[in-house]
Amino acid sequence: MIFQHYAFQKFYRSLVVLTNERAVLNDKNAPKEIREKVIHADKLIEYIKRENAVLNEFNYSETEMWQFAKFFMEAHHNRNIDYTQKYLNKITTDKAEKPATNESSAEVNTSVPSLPLSEDKIICSKCGAPMVKRVVKNGKDVGKEFWGCSKYPACRNTLGLS
pLDDT of residue 98: 64
Task: Identify residue 5 by its one-letter amino acid code.
Answer: H
Whole-number pLDDT of residue 14: 81
Q: What pLDDT is stored for residue 34 in this prediction?
A: 84
In the chain, where are the structural domains located? 2-75, 100-160
**Residue spans of the chain under pLDDT 70:** 1-11, 56-59, 98-120, 161-162
Q: H helices of the chain, where?
A: 2-11, 32-35, 44-55, 62-75, 83-97
The predicted pLDDT at position 87 comes to 82
| H runs (alpha helix) in 12-153 | 32-35, 44-55, 62-75, 83-97
What pLDDT sits at residue 112? 42
